[in-house]
Chains A and B, each alone.
Chain A
Amino acid sequence: MYPIATTLLGSLYAESIVQAGKDVFVGFQNYAQLFRDPVFWQSFWVTIRLNLVINPLQVLLALLLAIMANQRLRGISFYRLLFFIPLGVSLPIASILWRTLLDPNSGLVNSLLNLLGISSQPFLISKDQALWCIVAVATWKGVSFWMIFLWAGLQDIPQQLYEAARIDGAGRLGRFIRITLPLLRRPLLFVLITDTAVNFLLFVPMFLLTRGGPSYSTNVLMYEAYKSGFVYGDMGRALALVMVLLLLVVATVAMQFRLFSQEEGS
C-alpha cells in the first residue's frame, strides 16, 4: 500500500518553476488538466485497444502452445525447444531484432511479402499498423512464458479422467470443453490476470520501436507517464497518469475475477 499512497500523494503536487523547482500542493489540478488533455484521452483509448486485443490473443495462443507441448508425439522435444526460444531473448533485444525485420526499406518481412507478390508494408511507421506490430512483437516474446503455467496446469489433470470420458464416448472437443477447460480454470485465471497487468504496463517496445508514434498511435498511458516524469520533468502529471492506470488495471482485473467466479457459480 505504501507505494500506492506515495503515488497518490505525489499526484497532488506539482513542481513550481517560479519557486525554483519546489514541489507545491495543487490538489486535483493534475487530474483536471489531464482530463482536459486530448493526448491523455488518445493514450487512454490506445491502451484500451491494445489490451482488448493482446490479452485474449496471448492467453489463447499460450493455451494452444501448452496443449501442443503437452502432446506425447515423436520429436515433440524439438518443438518444445522452439516454443521456449523467445523466453531466452530479452524484450529490448527482441524489440531491436523486430525493428530490423520490420524495416520498411530493407526488412526481411517485406522481402518475404514481396516474394509472395504482396507490396511492401510500412509497419512501424504507419499509424494504422504500428500498434498491431507491437502486439505481434510482445506476443511473440510473451506467449511462451504464459504457456509454462498452462502447461503445468495441463500436467496436473489426471489422465484417468480423459480415459473415462473416452470410454463414455466423449470426442476430442468434448473432452477439452468438459475436462480440460474446467480443470484449467485456476491457472487460466492466474495467467489472464497477470498477463493483463503486465500488458497494461507494457512500455519497452513503444520506447524502443516507435516512441509513442506515429501520431500517438502507440502512445499508451505507461509511455505517456514515463515521458511526463522523465523527459518533461512533470512528476505530478506522471503520477496522476500512473494512478489512472492503476485504477484501470484494478477495474479490469476485478471484472475478470467476477466473470470467472460467475462461471464457477453456474
Chain B
Amino acid sequence: MKTRFDNPLRPQSWLPLAWAVLTCSLGSLCPVYGATVLHFMTLSDNVWPANVKKVIAAFETQNPDIKVELDTYPFRQLFETIEVRMKAQDKDVDLISVDVPLVASHGVRGFLAPLDQYFTKDEIEKTWIKASWQAGMYDQHFMAAPQNSSTQFMFINRKLFRDAGIEPPKGLAAGETVTYEQVSKIAANDRWTWDQVVDAAKKLTKSQNGKTETWGFEFDQVSRLYQLQCLGDSLGATLVGPDGLTAEGYFNSPGWLKAAQWYADLFNQWKVSPKNVTPDESPNLFSSGKVGIFVGGEWNVGRFKEAGVDFLVAPIPYFKEGKPASGTGSWHVGISKTSQHQAEAAKFVRFITADEKGATIWFEAHGQSPAMVALWNAVANNPKFRSFPDDAYLLGAYESEHTAVARPLTPGYLQLEDIFASTYEDIRNGVDPKEALDGAAQRLDRFFAQFKR
C-alpha cells in the first residue's frame, strides 16, 4: 500500500521533518535569545563544575536576563589557558576563577578588572574574613572576591589501623559530638608529629608477592606547592625572600632541605608512599582502602564519607622541632578586564561570593571552608556542625585561626608553582634533594629576573 511518505520530494513528506528540525533548533536557541551570556573560565576537576552549576541555576532564576556558561579546564591547564586568552585580550571571557596566589600576577599584568566600584571598602571588610579579602587585594584595589577558603586535615583509615594494631591519633570520628573547645584541645595537645606518621605508615604498608597492596601514607596533591608548603612552614622556612623575587637561600634553605629529604624518604627510603600517582588519582587510593594515612584538603571529607570509608579526621601533623602549619587560601572570582559585560559579571561575582543565598548554595554543595563571615557564624551556631563529619569545619576554623600560612606573595607565582612541582616530582623519583633544590633555586632566580625589567 502506498503512503504519503513514499515520494520524498512531495511537501507532505519533508514538511513535518523540516518543522520538527525548526522547532528543535528554536527551542534550543530560545533560552539564550535576548539574554546576556557570561563565559566563566573555571575548573573541570571532579565535582567542581557540577557544584558551580547549582549556584548558576539559582542565579539564573533570580536574573532571567543573564546566562552563565562554563569554560572548564583541568587544574594545570586552567592557568595556562588564562595566560593565553588574557594575553590575546579575548573578549569572550567574562569571569575567571583565580587561585589566590595569582591575584598579584593577574593584577600586575592587567588581566583583571578591579571590583572597587561594585563593593565598598566597608562592605568588603564586613562580608569576608580578613585573610580572604586581603588576599584578593592588589595595589590597593579589590581584584577578586573570595569564593571560599581552604584547610588541610589528616585522614585516618580506622580499619587499616585496627588491622595493624596501631592506636590512631585523637580526632573527629563518626558517632561522636564535639564542641569547638574540645576540637581546639585536640589540635593543641594531641596533634601527631611527622615522625609518628612515618612510624605508623611503616606498620601500615603491606606487600604481597613483591607488590605493595596497602600503602602507609599518601599526600593528596602530590608534589604541589599548596600541599607541601606545610612541611617547610612547620620548620619556619619560606620559599622566597621578602621581595617575593629571590629564591636562592630560601627555596634551598636548610629548613626546606630537611623537608625535601623527609619527602624523598617517604618514597625512596621508607617506601611508605606510592610513586607515579597523580594528584587526581591519590584520593581514590584512600577511598578504596589502599592507604592508611592521607593528608589532604578538607574537600575530601564528603568524598570519603560517600565512599563508605571508616575514617577519622585529625589535625595536620608537624615536625617536632618546629611548629604546626597548615595550608590555606583557595579560589577567588574575578572579572576579565576585556569583558564586554562587566556589570552583569559583577552581579554573578556578588551572588556566588557575597550573597547569602548564592554563597550558601556553594558552601553546602562544595563543602570547603567558607570565606564569608555570615557562613562562619552559621557554622558556629548550628548544632549540625558538632557531629561527624560536619564537625571537621570546627577543626578547619581552629587551623585557620592558629596554624594557617598563606602561599608566597610573588608576581612570579606561576613559575614558582611549576618549578616547585617539577622539583618535588624529581625528588619523589629519587633525585638528590640538595641537587634538585639548588638547581631549582637558580632557575627560579633567572625567571624572577624578568619581573625586574
Chain A residues with CB under 8 Å of chain B are 14-18, 20-21, 24, 26, 33, 37-39, 103-106, 114, 120, 122, 124-127, 211-215, 227, 230-235, 237
Q: Please measure, in the bound complex, the distance between the C-alpha atom of A242 and the C-alpha atom of B342, giving whole angstroms.
A: 37
CB distance from B78 to the nearest CB of A (A): 12
The residue in B211, B276, B426 that gathers the most chain A C-beta atoms within 10 A of its C-beta is: B276
- Cα distance A17–B450 in the bound complex, in angstroms: 8
A33 to chain B, nearest CB (A): 7
Measured CB to CB, the closest approach of chain B to A172, in angstroms, equals 46
Which residues of B401-453 are within 8 A (CB) of A? Answer: 411, 414-415, 418, 421-422, 425-426, 428-431, 436, 442-443, 446-447, 450-453
Within the complex, the shortest CB–CB distance from B420 to chain A, in Å, comes to 12
A-binding residues in B (CB < 8 A): 79-80, 83-84, 87, 108-110, 210-212, 274-277, 411, 414-415, 418, 421-422, 425-426, 428-431, 436, 442-443, 446-447, 450-453
Q: Are B429 and A33 closer than 8 Å at their CB atoms?
A: no
Query: Once the chains bind, are A106 and B211 in contact (CB under 8 Å)?
Result: yes
Known pairs A17-B450, A211-B422; A126 contacts B429 (CB<8 A): yes
In contact, B429 and A17 (Cβ under 8 angstroms): no
Q: How far is the CB of A178 from chain B (nearest CB, A)?
A: 50
Residue of B nearest to A105 (CB): B274
Residue contact B450 to A14, C-beta cutoff 8 Å: yes
Q: Which of B87, B210, B422 is A212 in contact with, Cβ under 8 Å?
A: B422
> Assuming A17-B452, A231-B414, what are 14 further A-B pairs, CB within 8 angstroms?
A15-B109, A20-B108, A21-B110, A104-B275, A105-B274, A114-B210, A125-B429, A213-B422, A214-B426, A214-B430, A233-B83, A233-B414, A234-B447, A235-B87
Q: Is the CB of A17 within 8 A of B453?
A: yes
Which residues of A have CB within 8 Å of B211?
A: 105-106
A114 surroundings in chain B (CB, below 8 A): 210
CA of A37 to CA of B449 in the docked complex: distance in angstroms? 13
Is chain A's binding surface mostly helix, strand, loop or mixed?
A: loop
Interface class of chain B by DSSP: helix
State in angstroms the CA–CA spacing of A56 and B333 once bound together. 51
For the complex, give the distance between the alpha carbons of A232 and B419 in Å: 10
Give chain B residues whose Cβ lies under 8 Å from the Cβ of A124: 276
> 7 pairs across A/B with beta carbons < 8 Å?
A17-B451, A104-B276, A105-B275, A114-B210, A212-B422, A213-B429, A230-B84
Cβ contacts under 8 Å, A237 to chain B:
450
Closest to A39 in B: B443
Q: When the two chains form the complex, which single residue of A16, A103, A120, A214 contacts B429, counting CB atoms closer than 8 Å?
A: A214
Q: How many Å lie between the Cα of A227 and that of B80 in the bound state?
A: 9
Q: How far is the CB of B326 from chain A (nearest CB, A)?
A: 27
Tell me, in angstroms, the Cα distance from A234 to B446 when the chains sit together: 12
- Which of B87, B414, B430, B450: most chain A CB closer than 10 A? B450
A138 to chain B, nearest CB (A): 20
B88 CB, nearest partner CB in chain A, Å: 11
Contact indicator B446/A33 (Cβ below 8 Å): yes
Q: Which residues of B contact A39 (CB under 8 A)?
A: 443
Whether A16 lies near B80 (C-beta < 8 A) is no
Q: Which residues of B contact A234 (CB under 8 A)?
A: 447, 450
Interchain nearest-CB distance for B419 vs A (Å): 9
A17 to chain B: which residues have CB within 8 Å? 108-109, 411, 450-453
- Contact yes or no, A127 B83, CB < 8 A: no
Inter-chain contacts of A37 with B (CB < 8 A):
446
Cα(A122)–Cα(B447), bound, Å:
31
Q: Indicate if the CB atoms of A127 and B414 lie closer than 8 Å.
A: no
Beyond A104-B276, A233-B414, is A14–B431 a contact (Cβ under 8 Å)? no
Which residues of B have CB within 8 Å of A231? 79-80, 83, 414-415, 418
Contact partner of B276 among A15, A103, A212, CB < 8 A? A103
Contact A232 B418 (CB under 8 A): yes
**What is the CA–CA distance of A235 and B88 in the complex, to the nearest angstrom?**
12
Would you give the shortest CB distance from B147 to chain A, in whole angstroms? 24
